[in-house]
Every structure is written in structure tokens, then in C-alpha cells.
Structure 1
């Protein structure tokens, strides 16, 4: 169905009105300076990485109250954008340019992880991976080949076809299942960092096997809050913490150089 010229003009006008109202709302919130800074992010990032680090931020900035708002999809994040002071997105690299309203945080590595009860030491024979229960993260829009077990089987030279044991819509649930000994999951380096450090997870293929994530993390905020000192303090701390984590989890010199394709 094609809209009439009048209908198209009306739609454009309404869009401009809604955009103006959103901007007015943000400027009003900025002027009122609410006591808390509302930060929106995924449940996985909050649960597996950020929450245990927030007490340190509170010790450094006792006058800044943080409220976390969880979203599971990009659509949910956009829908709640007017209520949030800062959103942490997982986006394609072409969206991740630094500007006055957003900053690139980090790009992760993807690799298999499991509980020590599944594989205490790295597998000497990669074919043994075919005997372990595999956990899947369901495909989503824009998901790269690094999330497919078939990619990893090709990378390892395995002729067998991956057999899924459990499939999860959200990466945090897959990691939780791996922590409980449910099988081998493909994890993101930032999300599994603490569990690897604590010995709750291990890397069954060893530290030399990893693929770069096809998406990156980005912090985004409304233009009206660009000079907000609370937001500046939190984003600076967030960038420093992610850099610290990434530095601790640097890959060894031996990197996987195989070309990854779809299929």
C-alpha cells in the first residue's frame, strides 16, 4: 500500500513532533538533574561482568547513584531510550564511531568454555569435542559465523556434524548453563573473563583458539547529557574497567588465522 502525498506529509510531521518531544524530555531531565544515573544494558553484560564491579565505582563516586535497566533486544533499548541516560549496545563495527553522543568500548573474542567437570584440561585431541554436549546461542539478526559450531568444527578439521544439546535465546543463559556443567558454550571474552579467572569455567581448546566477534560494544547517550559530569565519570570509569579486563585477557602470540565463512 502506497501512502498519499498528504499521508506521507502527515507521517513526516508527526515523526518530527515525536522527535522534538523526545529531545525536550531529555533536556528537561538534564535540567532537573535526577539523583540517579539510569544505565541500560543487556542482562548478560550486567550479570556476568558489570554488577560485581559497580561497588568500586560507588566507592570512587559516592555522590552518584546508578540504576540499571535491563533490555534483551535492540528494539527494547530503543523503546526505552527516553528513560535512559546511558545505553550500552552490542552493534556492528560500522556503527561504532566515536562522537559527542557515543564512544566505542571494546571488541570481544569468541571461544568455547565449559565447567571443569566437563573438561578439566585442554583437549589434546580436538576430535574429543564431538563427544561433549554442545550449547547453542540461537541465531539473531547480524550474527556472525563465529557463533556457529559448524564454523568451529571446520576450524578444527572435524568432519562430524555438530549435534546441539540445548539452545538458548540469550548468551547469558548459555553461559549460566555452562557454569552448571550443562555442556560447552561459545562465550564472549568479557562475559566469561571472571569465571575463567575464578576457575569456574575453563577453555577446553586452550588459550590459542579464538575468533574475533563480529560486533562491538558501544556506549550511547542523549545529546542533552553530553556535558553531564555524572555521565562523564561513569563512561570514563567504564572504559577504564573494560580496558583493564581486555588487557588481562589478551590472547597469546599464537592466533588463529583461518578464514571464517558462513555455513
Structure 2
């Protein structure tokens, strides 16, 4: 039997847009442009011969046909995801794929994997960049994400809080005596995270936020952290991104002030994977590493001494 199916990309674009009520939100989930989502939905409507949305200035409204199609598509895609996960769980070798944002992968997860392999040499860990900024893929065993809530249909286990801290080279830190001195510094900003500096200014109880001498903007946290390492200026960083650089003294936190955000870092996975032996081993190890990370964060708050943090973190020669 030959199936006459519309474009699967069009169906995915419509399902995401219908679920979110927005082409823009659907584009973020699918990691494509808003224009691409709109075009795929328009092509699907042309193929079906009727409109799926009433397009308003600030929202999308499903037509009767759109409502009927959305309900069936969401169930169908959920069924495909569950079927795929069930089949993958039948594979013989212990393989674990973890989805994680590129900066957390390079700065925090990968440097710690050697300790996992020493305890679990038979488990193959595959690191897929994504998680924090891209849709979670069905072929991932789990993901490490920063968010306020768990993904729908996922089990979430809190690893550590989301906090931000200013960091810079030791040479630059020597010129900073108080947060007010940031007025004379170049502040490094991640363009899609413009609120992290203001959030820290509030935690530092500055009467008025500094107007820095300069500002350097980068598109990703990885670029911003490299700029800080190169002495470009003072960056505001998620603590896991810089904890190892602080431990080795390549970066310092010039002020013992951190700012908690509304988010947390989570390990998330589908409930069907709960008894996966590779995931069980990985989550136990990951929670141990998260406990150490929280201890280092506490050291920063309580002592305000990077020397103490370096001494404590270097224990990871284990």
C-alpha cells in the first residue's frame, strides 16, 4: 500500500506552531527560522487545500480543521517517540547519549568524563551538543538543561542552582577593588542573554548600574568565556562554565558576590528510560559531580577567596 503523506517537515512545523500558538516559538523549538516555519505551514495548507490557522497580529488561532489535525499529530509524534525509545532500549551494548549545550559540554562535562570512564569502562558515552538551546532529540538518553521547569513528558532531577558571577583574568582583577570599579572596565555580554549583568548588579546592591567604559558582545557563552580568558574584559558567567578556570587560576572572581537566577540545572530523561543501566550509572555519577559543584559555589559565597576554591577543586585529580 502506498501512503500519500504530506511533507513530514510541514507536519512538524504545523504541530509545533499549533502547540505553541506561535511561529516564533515553533522556530525556537525546531532550531530553524520563523520564516521557514511559516513557509512550511503555508505549503502544507496549499497541499491540503484549506487554512490551518487564522493569522492575527500577535497570535495564531487554529481553524476547525487545524484543531482536528493538531490533536492527531501530537498523539502520532508522541507515539513515534515512545516507540523509538522502546526499540533503542533493546540494544545490547551499554551506550548513553547525553544532550548538552556546547559551553557546558566543553567547560564542565567533558573534563569530568574521565572519572566516569574509570568507574564504568564498558559504557560508551556520546555527547551531543544541544539540550539547553536546541530541541531535545528522541535518540538522546538524557539531557542536561538549564530551565525553570522540566520538559513535558520528562523526569527532571535538579543538579545545582543557576548562578552567575563576574570573572576576569588575575591581571584585570587587580584593578578592581569594588563593583563600582566596573565603570572603568570593558564588560563582556552574551547577546542573547542581556539580563545577566543587570541581575548581578541587583544582587550586588549597586545604587545605579555601572556605565562601563566599553562593552564587548558575543553570540555565545563559549565565545564570551574565551574573551574573558584572553583579557578582553570582565564576563558574567554561569558558574559551571568557569569553575575549572577558577580552580586553576586562569580566571578569578574579583568580587565574592553571586546572583541566583530563576533557573536550575536539571538532568532530564523520559520515564521509559528510568531503568536503563547506562543511565542509572551516569545519573549516580552526575549527582556526585553536582554535589562537588555546589560545594565550590558555597566556597565562593562564604569565603570570597579564589585561593580556597582552587585548593578545594584541585581534589579532582581522582
Q: TM-score, normalised by structure 2?
A: 0.69
User: CA–CA distance in 1 between the matches of 2:209 and 2:128?
Assistant: 44
1:129 aligned partner: 182
Q: Whose radius of gyration is greater, 1 or 2?
A: 2
Q: 1:224 to 1:180 in 2, by over 3 A?
A: same
Give 1 or 2: higher helix fraction. Answer: 2
Aligned length: 243
- Is residue 153–residue 162 contact of structure 1 (8 Å, CA) maintained in 2? no
Matching residue of 1:181: 231
Q: 1:34 to 1:77 in 2, by over 3 A?
A: farther
Note if contact 1:36-1:66 (Cα within 8 Å) is conserved in structure 2: yes
State whether residues 109 and 188 of structure 1, in contact with CA within 8 Å, keep that contact through their aligned partners in structure 2: yes
Q: Give the C-alpha shift of residue 160 in structure 1.
A: 4.4
CA apart distance, 1:111:
1.5
Structure 2: state its 5+ residue gaps: 1-53, 55-60, 305-318
Match of 1:219 in 2: 267
Shift of 1:71: 1.6
CA deviation profile, 1:178-228 (whole Å, cap 9, x unmatched): 0111110011222211111100001122x2x11112211111112221111
Q: 1:164 and 1:232, CA in 2 relative to 1: closer, same or farther beyond 3 A?
A: farther
Q: Say yes or no: does 1:5 pair with 2:71.
A: no
Superposition pairs of residues 80-229 of structure 1, within 5 angstroms: 81-92=137-148, 95=149, 101-120=155-174, 123-140=176-193, 145-148=195-198, 151=201, 155-158=205-208, 160-162=210-212, 164-205=214-255, 207=256, 209-229=257-277
1:66-122: CA deviations, max 9, x gaps? 010002754x233xx212111111101xx159x98221111032111001131237x
- For residues 86 and 153 of structure 1, what CA distance do their matches in structure 2 show? 33
Task: Report the Cα distance in structure 2 between the residues aligned to 1:73 and 1:106, rounded to whole angstroms.
Answer: 15
Report the aligned-residue RMSD.
2.7
Q: Unpaired segments of 5 or more residues in structure 1? A: 256-263
Higher RCO structure (Cα 8 Å, ≥6 apart): 1
